[in-house]
């Protein structure tokens, strides 16, 4: 499916259609953060979806929508309630971004970092759970009909903690990423195998993301690759390993659970 676009631009979808790309897709996706970054209001959500529906018959997913607590926790409470009212029933799938705040000692993946001003620091407050592990007021207003988008870093220590919270919230649908940039690290397959086994119980949408700096036209994670075939090979490996061979991973997860229970 098409990765989520932001801004929500019907002209871009028409451009893709003219070049034949939509013929190879099952759905298109959009991202929206009207209370933090976009230049439109939250009540415009139905109109923004209709703009895309006017130019394609493909199903529309909202693969990222969220509200930060940068200014106040109460803003996120309003945002999560109003988002559910506006989007449930209007999009095939919706993923709330996100479950966990970004730890303050980490770096947000953006182009210009601190030069973005407050826009950059909002990235650190998108979760319903603070970096110290305490819940915000919004957890009491989360509708489990929404899915969750939660990114995990390489060897992320928060993985098991996040899964516990996903279960508490009744989450069934999850969106996460497998990083092409991390695919070349030592022990990368062991980490991604573990991540996907731990997430096996969820209906998981996997995003293939982040160009290795050495393989981009520019040394940045958002750069197009120098050789598209390299990314295609990575994508094929991921699909083979975690979709085609998913039954194998399920069996491994059961064996791990049995071993842990025995211990």
- Statement: residue 145 has pLDDT above 90: yes
Q: What is the pLDDT of residues 89-124, one digit of tens each?
A: 999 999 999 999 999 888 887 766 776 778 888 999
Tell whether the torsion through CA atoms of 6, 230, 188 and 241 is positive or negative. positive
Q: Across all residues in the chain, what is the average pLDDT? A: 92
Fold assignment, 1-149: TIM Barrel (3.20.20)
Domain ranges of the chain: 1-149, 182-263
With contact defined as beta carbons under 8 Å apart, do 249 and 197 qualify? Answer: yes
From CA 43, how far away is CA 139, in angstroms rounded? 22
The predicted structure's pLDDT at residue 109: 78
State pLDDT tens for residues 174-194: 999 999 999 989 999 999 999
Distance CA 179, CA 184 (A): 9
With a pLDDT cut of 70, the percent of the chain lying above it is 92
Residue 177: strand, helix, or coil: strand
In this structure, the number of other CB atoms found within 10 A of the CB of residue 114 comes to: 10
154 vs 159: CA distance, rounded Å: 10
pLDDT on residue 77 = 98
pLDDT tens figures, 205-227: 999 998 888 888 888 777 888 88
Cα→Cα distances 181→145, 220, 221, Å: 32, 10, 7
Q: How far is CA 129 from the centre of its chain?
A: 16
6-41 pLDDT, tens digit per residue, is 999 999 999 999 999 999 999 999 999 999 999 999
């Amino acid at each position: 499916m098409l990765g989520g676009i932001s801004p929500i631009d019907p002209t871009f979808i028409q451009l893709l259609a003219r070049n034949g790309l939509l013929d190879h897709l099952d759905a298109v996706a959009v991202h929206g953060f009207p209370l933090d970054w976009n230049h439109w209001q939250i009540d415009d959500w139905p109109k923004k979806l209709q703009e895309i529906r006017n130019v394609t018959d493909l199903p529309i997913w909202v693969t990222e929508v969220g509200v930060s607590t940068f200014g106040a926790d109460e803003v996120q409470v309003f945002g999560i309630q109003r988002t559910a009212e506006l989007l449930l029933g209007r999009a095939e799938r919706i993923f709330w971004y996100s479950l966990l705040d970004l730890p303050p000692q980490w770096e947000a993946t953006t182009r210009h970092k601190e030069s973005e001003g407050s826009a950059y620091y909002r990235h650190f407050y998108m979760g319903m759970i603070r970096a110290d592990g305490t819940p915000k007021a919004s957890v009491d207003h989360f509708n489990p009909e929404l899915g969750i988008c939660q990114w995990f870093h390489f060897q992320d220590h928060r993985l098991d903690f996040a899964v516990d919270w996903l279960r508490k919230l009744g989450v069934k649908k999850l969106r996460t990423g497998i990083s092409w940039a991390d695919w070349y690290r030592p022990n990368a397959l062991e980490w991604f195998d573990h991540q996907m086994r731990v997430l096996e119980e969820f209906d998981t949408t996997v995003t293939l993301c982040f160009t290795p700096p050495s393989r981009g036209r520019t040394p940045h994670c958002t750069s197009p690759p120098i050789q598209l075939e390299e990314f295609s090979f990575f994508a094929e490996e991921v699909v083979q390993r975690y979709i085609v061979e998913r039954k194998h991973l399920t069996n491994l997860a059961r064996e791990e659970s049995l071993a842990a229970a025995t211990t």
